[in-house]
Amino acid sequence: MDLKKPLWPLFEFVTQLYLISPHGGLEDLIQELPDDLKLLDIIYKQPSMLIRPIASVFDNLALIKKGRDITLPDIRDEDGKELPLFDAMISLTKQRVLEYELEAINSALCGPCSCVLCCTGPDLSARQEFFEIPLLDEEISLFSRFPIVDSMKSRAKTAYSEPELEIDGAPFYKRPSAIYHWATGYSLILVRGAACPHLNASGSCNIYSSRPVACRKPQIFPFVIERLSGRHQDAAERYLRRDALLAIWDCPYVKEFKAEIITYARLCNLTCIFKENKA
Ligand code: SF4
Ligand code: SF4
């Protein structure tokens, strides 16, 4: 995986080719791709090998081509209009391809950095009041030493709602670190000066192989679509199309690879946004 060679132009090309090709199945088309494929000045070597590990992202496309019905989550544009089915399918596919690719890039870049920024709350002198680690329902048990705040009020807000959630007359982040149940799901809130209990003295994670999904995410976040709700199994998924790439400026490798990240966003036709998280 390489920020200078994003996968999306390749997947977009294959999508268009598949729609006009006589092939019924995608695998036939993938097998016929040349060993070297040049798109947007990028040479993809062995493109079939790049596609196969996540070829399942094309499942909906294959169903559309066969004239079958597909069911997608609710994805809207910034005016609140529901996207046409094909556009929604493309946005969802693009989000999945970028998540897959950026997660792998993140793992490769983060390890050598000896950095624990993603495992700690903000510094005592920072303007940022807290650091949020979103948790899936099944990941809550990894953090059983923390209290869970779950009330009608918390479930009506997110960690970034304004006005913020108050508990006993004070903002929630003035209390010790805890797990909160928000409108968008659960998250661990690490307050200023706090650290994840799984961070060990040598700066690595004690539960690395079973760490939460959020801890595996890149500091270069694909926001082709942004999830608005539905992290719980029982809640409907709703998304907003953003067509953006968000890179967290606090991260040392985001600074180091700034130019490559801008190029990556351009090649994927996304707006590139750099944001400080723990200023
Ligand atoms: S679970 Fe591991 S990777 Fe995640 S915040 Fe804690 S120490 Fe860091
Ligand atoms: S800020 Fe970047 S380098 Fe530091 S722990 Fe997070 S992902 Fe890794």
Per-residue pLDDT tens over the stretch 125-141: 878 899 999 999 999 99
pLDDT for 253 beyond 90: no
Does the pLDDT value for residue 211 go beyond 80?
A: yes
Any atom of ligand 1 within 6 Å of the Cβ of 55? no
Same domain, 131 and 107: no
Span 72-114, pLDDT tens digits:
889 999 999 999 999 999 999 999 999 999 988 888 888 777 7
Same domain, 245 and 148: no
Q: Which domain holds residue 177?
A: 121-194
Pair 36, 91 in one domain: yes
In a domain, 154, yes or no: yes
Looking at the chain, the whole-number percentage of residues with pLDDT higher than 90 is: 60
- In terms of domains, do 125 and 110 share one? no
Based on the domain organization, do 88 and 28 belong to the same domain? Answer: yes
Residue 125 falls inside a structural domain: yes
Say yes or no: 74 and 49 in one domain. Answer: yes
Q: Decide if pLDDT at 43 tops 90.
A: yes
| Ligand 1, atom nearest to 214 Cα | 4
199 lines ligand 2 (CB under 6 A): no
The pLDDT, as a whole number, for residue 235 is: 62
The response to whether residue 113 sits with its C-beta less than 6 Å from ligand 2 reads yes
pLDDT at 107: 80
Rounded-to-integer distance, Cα 123 and Cα 192, Å = 6
Q: Taking 60 as the threshold, does the pLDDT of residue 122 lie above it?
A: yes
What is the CB-side half-sphere exposure of residue 267 using CA atoms within 13 A?
22
Would the CB of 33 count as within 6 Å of ligand 2?
no
273 vs 244: CA distance, rounded Å: 7
CB-count burial class (<10 Å; 0-12, 13-18, 19+) for 183:
middle
The Cα–Cα gap between 118 and 215 comes to 8
Does 85 reside within a domain? yes
> What pLDDT, on a 0 to 100 scale, did the predictor assign at position 141?
95
Integer Cα distance of 196 and 200 in angstroms? 9
- Write the residue with the smallest CA distance to atom 8 of ligand 2: 110
Q: Is residue 27 located within the same domain as residue 107?
A: yes
Q: Are residues 25 and 101 in the same domain?
A: yes
109 in the same domain as 14? yes
38 shares its domain with 110: yes
With b for 16 or more beta-carbon neighbours within 10 A and e for fewer, the 193-230 pattern comes to ebebbbbeeeeebeeeeebbeebebbbbbbbbbbbebb
49 vs 10: CA distance, rounded Å: 12
Q: What's the pLDDT score for residue 234?
A: 54
In a domain, 104, yes or no: yes
Q: Are residues 55 and 182 in the same domain?
A: no
Does residue 31 belong to any structural domain of this protein?
yes
Whether 12 and 102 map to the same domain: the answer is: yes
State whether residue 135 is helix, strand or coil: strand
Q: Total domain count for the chain? A: 2
